[in-house]
């Protein structure tokens, strides 16, 4: 039996707890490889370019460079699939889109 390829994932969120929760959810999946974590948009851009992930869990609102600004900075480059995360009051919601 051949092994199915893993999905290379980058976690981007300025909240350590949010990254911890995502990591915990994804670590049990044998098809997921977490290739990095970033706590801000600048780090995210560097990691995206260095690691070429297939999928990013991307926080919309972060200090300095937010999620939408990260995607705008990647315009014209190979862009991974994105699952946005955003906070509404005390709730954290996830919205899946493809770029």
Which of these ranges, 13-17, 56-60, 93-97, has the smallest mean pLDDT?
93-97
User: 92 forms bridges with which residues in the sheet?
Assistant: 87
Which of these ranges, 27-36, 42-51, 83-92, has the smallest mean pLDDT?
83-92
For the stretch 46-77, what's the b/e string if a residue is b when 16 or more beta carbons lie within 10 angstroms of its beta carbon? ebbeebebbbbbbbbebeebbbebbbebbeee
The mean of the pLDDT values for the chain is 86
Quick one: pLDDT at residue 98?
46
Task: Give the C-alpha separation, 9 to 31, whole Å.
Answer: 10
Q: What digits encode the pLDDT tens for the residues 74-98?
A: 998 889 999 988 765 544 554 444 4
pTM: 0.83
Quick one: pLDDT at residue 5?
75
Q: Average pLDDT of 3-26?
A: 91
Residue the block writes with tokens 């909240």: 15
């Amino acid at each position: 039996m051949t092994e199915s390829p893993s999905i290379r994932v980058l976690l981007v969120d300025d909240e350590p707890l949010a990254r911890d929760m995502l990591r915990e959810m994804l670590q049990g999946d044998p098809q997921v490889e977490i290739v990095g974590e970033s706590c801000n948009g600048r780090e995210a851009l560097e990691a995206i370019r260095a690691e070429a992930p297939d999928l990013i869990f991307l926080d919309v609102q972060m200090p300095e460079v937010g999620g939408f600004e990260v995607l705008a900075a990647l315009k014209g480059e190979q862009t991974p699939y994105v699952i946005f995360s955003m906070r509404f009051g005390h709730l954290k919601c996830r919205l899946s889109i493809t770029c």
